[in-house]
Amino acid sequence: MTIGWYLAVSAIVFSLGAVGVMTRRNPLVVLLCLELMLNGANLALIAFSRMWGNGDGQILAIVVMTVAACEVCIGLGMIVALYRRQLPIDVDELRELQG
């Protein structure tokens, strides 16, 4: 398949992730949809890396995976802290930064 097909798949995955981030209420699912967006970007990076025959895109994809792992760690820590304080697990209810 040509590179354009891979880019189309990455665009679809990224848009689906964006829709999920904007429409879902559970912060766990919002984090999952953020992962979708990062994975769409990763697929585009690796497709471009293949296009030029250059490994820089793959390195950038690995760095993006690292950042995604950090984001998951912090985000899930925040969700566990919310649950411990018996706050609602719902991004609509959590509209104040005050603890």
Partner 1 sequence: MSSVLFFIAGFGAIAGAVGVVVLRDPFYSVLALVFHLISLAVLFLLLRAEFVAAVQVVVYAGAVMVLYVFVVAYVGEESESLGERLRGSGPVGSGLRRAGAILGGALLVELLIALLGTGLTAIDGYGAGYEPGLGGGPHQFGTPAYIGQLLLTRFLLAFEVASFLLLIAAVGGVVLARRRGGLGEEDERDMLTPLDLLRPLGTGTTAEGVGGVLRPVQGRLEGAPRSRPSLPDAGSRRPR
Range 13-72, binding partner 1 (CB under 8 A): 13-20, 22-26, 28-29, 31-33, 35-36, 39, 42-44, 46-47, 49-56, 58-59, 61-63, 65-72
CB of 30 to partner 1, least distance (A): 10
CB of 98 to partner 1, least distance (A): 16
DSSP notation for the chain: --HHHHHHHHHHHHHHHHHHHHH---HHHHHHHHHHHHHHHHHHHHHHHHHHT-THHHHHHHHHHHHHHHHHHHHHHHHHHHHHTT--S-TTT------
Q: Does residue 97 touch partner 1 according to CB under 8 A?
A: no
